[in-house]
Amino acid sequence: MATFNFPVAVGPQAQFEPAIAVNLLLPSTMVCVAVEFVGNLPHTGVYRSLDGGANWDRRILPIPPQFTGAEAPYVAYSFPNTFYITAHVFPGAESGTCVIYKSTDNGTTYSDPLIVGSGYGIYINNDETLVTVDNGQASPYLGNVYVAYNHQFNVTSSGNSVAFLNRSMDGGLTFDVPVRLSEQSDSVERPDVAVSLVGTVYAAWITTSPTSRYFVRRSLDGGATFEQSVLVANVVPVPTILPVPGYNFRVLTFASISVDNSASPNRGAVYTVWQDFRQGYSDIFMSRSFDNGSNWTPPVSITNAPAGSQNFFPAIDVDPLLGVVNIIYYSNQVDGFHLDVFVARSINGGNTFRNTRITTTSFNPNGNSPTPVALIGDYIDIASVPPGGYIGAWADTRNGSLDIFAGYSGNVIT
């Protein structure tokens, strides 16, 4: 399978936490976002390609005046030429606020940031943002915008965090009062959201205390109300620092969810993926629902990776035309230390997967640093390029510093 690696954002300072989206009507048009440092302060870097990932332009989104930095960006596409970008902006270690930007000209220009969820000092910090748009071809809620984030409260006094979701029904101009998805007694990491062909909203998150569990909660009315949470699986958390000599970067366990909106035999199937340490090493597990999220299959590994290898940061997207399941993840399976990016693909509803290394060069996660680094970002991303292709984005140190690379394949698997 022919795969090409393209530099998206290159040095001199670190870039990380990439997310990527594709215009479904013009699949050669793509928008990628990442944390990019300007001077000593992190900002939201935006990179646009009009040629399928071969070349990328660059811009830095403005930060609202009362804030000094931005991180945890995410991007989503909406018909016909709209991209939304969310980010966590902050004045320091607290008061983190979720904002959204909108482009209606395929990423040429962006609106000023609109505050979705405000932070307040040491009491509220809204982090780990995510945005999803209802592109369901048969949805009465087409165009609804869903912004989710990790809502941290009593930040400096041993507080907790819950999953919040805000809905916009007017193209991101205004947002409803947020819905609290998770229980206040559970601590969570970043939630994810997927929308079905008919507009069913699936919100997913993983709790980190008092136990680690993967939950999904469903809305049948366009995000106005949500049913009770459904347990997908118990999760064995991956160590924050993987047990590999020379590793010091943190590994957080996030939920990732996607729905098959195609006309394939598996239309309507819901897929959840996450990293899990149940085998004594980090591996990527998947659970599926074939009844609209009511019941879930037992978790199975999808990597076919060697025992003892470390496989982490999974993200999933299902091709809305052909139903191909695409899952991206990091792995050190080539030599036990250097990292590569792999993509697992399935054309039979997740019954079997073909795993392919898509990095053309393995890389040292520490780059040129003489000591192990503490961060390579907390996630990577993949987007389907219909019909049958994909574009993945990840942080990569092959040039010595932490850069953003993309890997593209237009091959339709059979």
How much of the chain, in percent, has pLDDT values that exceed 70? Answer: 99
d(CA 248, CA 271): 31
287-335 pLDDT, tens digit per residue, is 999 999 999 999 999 999 999 999 999 999 999 999 999 999 999 999 9
Structure tokens at 227: 């049913």
126-156 pLDDT, tens digit per residue, is 999 999 999 999 999 999 999 999 999 998 8
229-262 per-residue burial string, b: 16 or more CB within 10 A, e: under 16: bbebbebebbeeebebeebbbebbbbbbbbbbbb
On the question of pLDDT at 67 being above 90, the answer is yes
**Bridge partners, residue 148, by sequence:** 130, 165
For residue 288, how far is the Cα from the chain centroid? 18
315-325 pLDDT, tens digit per residue, is 999 999 999 99
Q: Which domains does the chain have, with CATH numbers?
A: 4-409 (2.120.10.10)
Residue 413 banded pLDDT, cuts 50, 70, 90: low
What global pTM score does this model have?
A: 0.97
d(CA 46, CA 187): 31
Q: Beginning with the edge strand found earlier in the chain, give each strand of the sheet holding 4-9 in spatial order.
A: 4-9, 403-409, 389-396, 381-385
Structure tokens at 125: 């910090």
6-51 pLDDT, tens digit per residue, is 999 998 888 999 999 999 999 999 999 999 998 899 999 999 999 9
Instruction: Write the CB contacts of 79 (distance below 8 Å, at least 6 apart in sequence).
Output: 24, 25, 135, 142, 143
Structure tokens at 243: 């047990």
347-380 pLDDT, tens digit per residue, is 999 999 999 999 999 999 999 999 999 999 999 9
205-243 pLDDT, tens digit per residue, is 999 999 999 999 999 999 999 999 999 999 999 999 999
Structure tokens at 368: 């040129």
Q: Specify the pLDDT at position 156.
A: 83
3-state secondary structure at position 124: strand
Q: Specify the pLDDT at position 283.
A: 98
259-281 pLDDT, tens digit per residue, is 999 999 999 999 999 999 999 99
The Cα-based distances of 170 to 144, 165, 203, 387 in angstroms read 7, 16, 20, 29
103-115 pLDDT, tens digit per residue, is 999 999 999 999 9
Q: Specify the pLDDT at position 1.
A: 44
DSSP for residue 62? P
On the question of pLDDT at 121 being above 60, the answer is yes
On the question of pLDDT at 2 being above 60, the answer is no
d(CA 356, CA 1): 8
